[in-house]
Structure 1
Amino acid sequence: MVMLKLASPRVTKEILNRYNFRPSKGMGQNFLIDYNIVNIILNAAELDPLDLAVEIGPGIGTMTREIASRAGYVLAIELDERLISILQNTLEECNNVEIIHADALKINFDRLMEERLGIFKSKTFKVIANLPYYITTPLIMHLLEDHERWDQAVIMIQKEVADRILACPGTKEYGALSVSVQYYAEPQFIAKVPKTVFWPRPEVDSAIVKLKRRRVPPVEVRDKLLLFRVIQGVFTYRRKTILNALQNTFSVNRQDLIKVLETSPIDPSRRGETLSLEEFAILADNLLALQEKIKKARL
């Protein structure tokens, strides 16, 4: 199939109609129909011929063709089996693209890329994704928590989620997602994307965000799992004071928690949404010290 641009309403609808394809609302399928947005995403990705790229949710191959023209090798991961035959057609001239029918949430990307990285003598890969709302947070955390071989990700997500990722302490958008992403990566806002550049048109606007993976976390903690348990617990009870939120999360005496907060030093009457990542790290370490003290006293 020879086509100059897939990112147009006419071409997208023609392809989908040819295959009797009906977009699934449940899967959040909204196809990009504006080449300007494709170009913004690819410029942010800074691809070169030595790069290995993973595209999550290629759809009909709108961005995939352009990624393939800039990167050395592309893995296009698509969940919807109905789109595989379309991709095989639209990408038939791209000899550096591998189409994989799989659920990105279940893929071990490091293992998948290991052999391919060796061929290109590269240590990392880049991720490009147009993510439906229902998998945005799980997939971002899957990449951040479970994989170390990716270097940066350029993702198009719902504007509301982008605001949460980029949020600062003390704002209503600030939450567990903000702190977690900022622990693992440096997030950067690239552009707002109007809903008019998709077909079918979604109900909300989107945004392009770039995540540059940190090689070294911005804070040091003795127990990373405890840090994230503190973060999750505090924001689960975000309308409560930090003291009450911690008491609902951990089986620790209230007076001991007050001492931990004062040592940190954090006012027990503050709300969790005002704490910075650095304060969460100090709090987690002091809480760990308390737990160790309690455990030692029981021996």
Structure 2
Amino acid sequence: MAHLASPKYTQEIIKKYGFHFNKKLGQNFLIDQNILQKIVDGAGITQEDEVLEIGPGIGTLTQELAKTAKKVIAIEIDQHLLPILQETLGNFKNVELIQGDVLKLPLMDIMYNKFSNRKIKVVANLPYYITTSIVMKLLEEELPIGRITIMIQKEVAERMSAAPGGKDYGALSVAVQFYATPYKIATVPASVFIPRPKVDSVVIALDILDKPRVEVSNRKLFFQVVRAAFAKRRKTLVNALSTGNLGIEKQEIVNILNQVGIDSKRRGETLSLKEFADIANDIDIQYKNKKERG
């Protein structure tokens, strides 16, 4: 079979099945074999690996994964692509298709029923409009995943891997780095997709940590603090937290920041994960003390 990552073959199979791109689903098909190989190499796929692929499209990346991996489960939301995938993946006995919305599917059940390994690798070319929702679902549900390798919008990749102090550092940076270690594998120009997107992409890998990077007593509260700190980036930390969703008076925030040794005039974008954890843990202590006092 000819390489799917060929503009000619991609156009031929799209025409053969009368497929029309769905803009709402953010469909862009990769047509560069070199980029495909970089994704597979970056994911570290071996013959022992079992892979969950999200959004196989016409099966371009799926074919390359199946050539190396022990097993590939591919989840595709667009039922119009299923006849194409049945043709392009028909010769691969180690590939199984699931039609559905990954955000609504019970991924834990799928992983435990379909895979034998307990450190699954996830690979995906994610639609820009839904990247964050999918990544956070994969991270927050504490699934048996060892590495997530995804191709996403360049700006989103920069935010995921940003360090404190920069303009790209924000709530997404903290959330991703709480669960994983991100590193960039390759930059992908818009010219290697059909149809061509408006921006470049980046292949990024997220190595999942055995336990969160920082210890927090109340995970929900930790992320409330993070969101409040970044909700109004121009505000100082004390003002951002006291006017956020925490329901804590300004003087109380000042006292908490003093308690953990953080200058109240700093801004959220300068805080490390450890400093966010210190604030959240101290607030949690204050809540518990108040509750005990009645």
Q: Is the 8 A contact 1:154 1:210 kept in 2?
A: yes
Letter in 2 for 1:165: M
Whole-angstrom distance in 2 between the partners of 1:109 and 1:125:
12
Q: 1:91 aligns with which of 65, 76, 89?
A: 89
**1:37 paired residue number:** 35
Q: Are 2:126 and 1:128 equivalent residues in the alignment?
A: no
**1:72 paired residue number:** 70
Deviation at 1:24, TM superposition (A): 1.6
Whole-angstrom distance in 2 between the partners of 1:155 and 1:207:
8
**1:294 paired residue number:** 290
Whole-angstrom distance in 2 between the partners of 1:61 and 1:21:
14
Whole-angstrom distance in 1 between the partners of 2:66 and 2:170:
36
Q: Is the 8 A contact 1:28 1:134 kept in 2?
A: yes
Moved more, 230-239 or 167-176: 230-239
TM-score by length of 2: 0.97
Q: 2:269 aligns with which of 247, 267, 273?
A: 273
Q: CA RMSD in A?
A: 1.0
Per-residue CA deviations over 1:3-58 (Å, capped at 9, x if unaligned) read 23100110000000111112122211110000000000000111122211011010
Q: Is the 8 A contact 1:117 1:124 kept in 2?
A: no
Whole-angstrom distance in 1 between the partners of 2:289 and 2:239:
21
- Unpaired segments of 5 or more residues in structure 1? none
Q: Are 2:206 and 1:211 equivalent residues in the alignment?
A: yes
Q: Give SS of 1:154's match.
A: strand
Deviation at 1:237, TM superposition (A): 2.0
Q: Is the 8 A contact 1:108 1:147 kept in 2?
A: no
Whole-angstrom distance in 2 between the partners of 1:217 and 1:158:
25
Q: Are 2:1 and 1:6 equivalent residues in the alignment?
A: no
Q: Is the 8 A contact 2:48 2:69 kept in 1?
A: yes
Q: Are 2:161 and 1:166 equivalent residues in the alignment?
A: yes
Letter in 1 for 2:142: H
Q: 2:49 aligns with which of 23, 29, 51?
A: 51
Deviation at 1:253, TM superposition (A): 2.4
**2:229 paired residue number:** 234
Per-residue CA deviations over 1:157-182 (Å, capped at 9, x if unaligned) read 00000000011111111110000000
Whole-angstrom distance in 2 between the partners of 1:88 and 1:273:
47
Whole-angstrom distance in 2 between the partners of 1:174 and 1:80:
34
Whole-angstrom distance in 2 between the partners of 1:73 and 1:250:
45
**1:139 paired residue number:** 134
Whole-angstrom distance in 2 between the partners of 1:35 and 1:48:
19
Whole-angstrom distance in 1 between the partners of 2:97 and 2:143:
22
Q: Are 2:195 and 1:191 equivalent residues in the alignment?
A: no
Per-residue CA deviations over 1:57-105 (Å, capped at 9, x if unaligned) read 1000001111111011111110011101100011110111101101011
Letter in 2 for 1:195: A
Q: Is the 8 A contact 2:51 2:69 kept in 1?
A: yes
Distance 1:147 1:106, change over 3 A: farther
Deviation at 1:116, TM superposition (A): 2.7
Whole-angstrom distance in 2 between the partners of 1:190 and 1:110:
27
Per-residue CA deviations over 1:88-132 (Å, capped at 9, x if unaligned) read 0111101111011010111222210112333xxx22211000001
- Percent sequence identity is 47
Q: Is the 8 A contact 1:109 1:147 kept in 2?
A: no
Letter in 2 for 1:241: T
TM-score by length of 1: 0.96
Q: 2:260 aligns with which of 264, 274, 283?
A: 264
Whole-angstrom distance in 1 between the partners of 2:81 and 2:249:
55
Q: Give SS of 2:103's match.
A: helix
**2:16 paired residue number:** 18
Whole-angstrom distance in 1 between the partners of 2:63 and 2:56:
10
Whole-angstrom distance in 2 between the partners of 1:259 and 1:7:
59
Whole-angstrom distance in 1 between the partners of 2:189 and 2:99:
29
Letter in 2 for 1:117: F
Letter in 2 for 1:79: I
Letter in 2 for 1:189: K
Instruction: Provide the aligned length of Structure 1 versus Structure 2.
Output: 293
Deviation at 1:148, TM superposition (A): 2.3
Q: Are 2:243 and 1:245 equivalent residues in the alignment?
A: no
Q: Are 2:149 and 1:154 equivalent residues in the alignment?
A: yes
